[in-house]
Amino acid sequence: MNMSRKTISAFKRELLEREARKNWDKFYKRNTCNFFKDRHWIKDEFVQLCPELDWKEPLIGLEAGCGVGNLLFPLCEVFPDLFMNACDFSPRAVQFVKVHSTNDSLLDHLKPDSIDFCCLIFVLSAINPDKMNYVVKNIYKILKTDGLVIFRDYAENDHAMLRFNERQKISEKLYVRQDGTRAYFFSENELSDLFCSNGFADDIIELVHKKTINIKEGVNVPRTFVQCKFRKIV
């Protein structure tokens, strides 16, 4: 049997692309600030991942895909000298952190070569793979030379990927959730190719294995993420 026949139609794929912003806006309307936990793991992991950054200095950072601030606020709390910029696809999410959003060129809002580091934490997976190249090019333009991209996202064969059925499959490794939001699952090699072809060096690319545990609901499942550090080179 040709399983590809069970994937969603071309019409549905186009509709999901057109309504991507609306679907994320509905997500944040339903869940407000309560769905994702604050990412307090950043203190130790960011320092270990990027020892070349002096976190006590007034660094300038960007969080692309800030959501409702689950990374932004803990990051600024731990490193009070940071000056953080933030943007998100969903205006409603941005409203929660009271910053101005954009889905256009970052150069309309940030100067070229002005950012020390950029966080891409579980955001690139929500973007159409056809547009990922544009996102990386955009980030390259605003980073300083030797500026860093700190990346974590879903890895292929993560438990979440294995739970999707063929009717939720948009294309290879790209799936749609019941609420209309999308999730892509990365391999290490394709991330290396994506960033290195756009002016970055792949200093670190590694798989991170975690567990999602909810004793009350009897959940104990393995998770697999890919964590990277990319450095802008001339």
CATH value at residue 146: 3.40.50.150
Task: Grade residue 226 by pLDDT with cuts at 50, 70 and 90.
Answer: very high
DSSP conformational letter for 155: B
Residues 6+ positions from 11 with CB-CB distance below 8 Å: none
Give the full edge-to-edge strand order of the sheet including 115-121. 83-87, 60-64, 115-121, 143-154, 219-232, 200-214
pLDDT beyond 50 at 35 = no
82-123: per-residue pLDDT in tens? 888 877 654 433 333 333 333 445 556 678 899 999 999 888
pLDDT on residue 234: 74
pLDDT on residue 14: 66
Task: Grade residue 143 by pLDDT with cuts at 50, 70 and 90.
Answer: very high
Higher pLDDT: 98 or 158? It is 158
pLDDT beyond 80 at 140 = yes
Domain containing residue 45: 3-232
Residues 6+ positions from 199 with CB-CB distance below 8 Å: 140, 232, 233, 234
Structural contact between residues 120 and 150, judged by C-beta atoms closer than 8 angstroms: yes
Encoded amino acid at 156, one letter: E
Give the chain's domain count.
Answer: 1
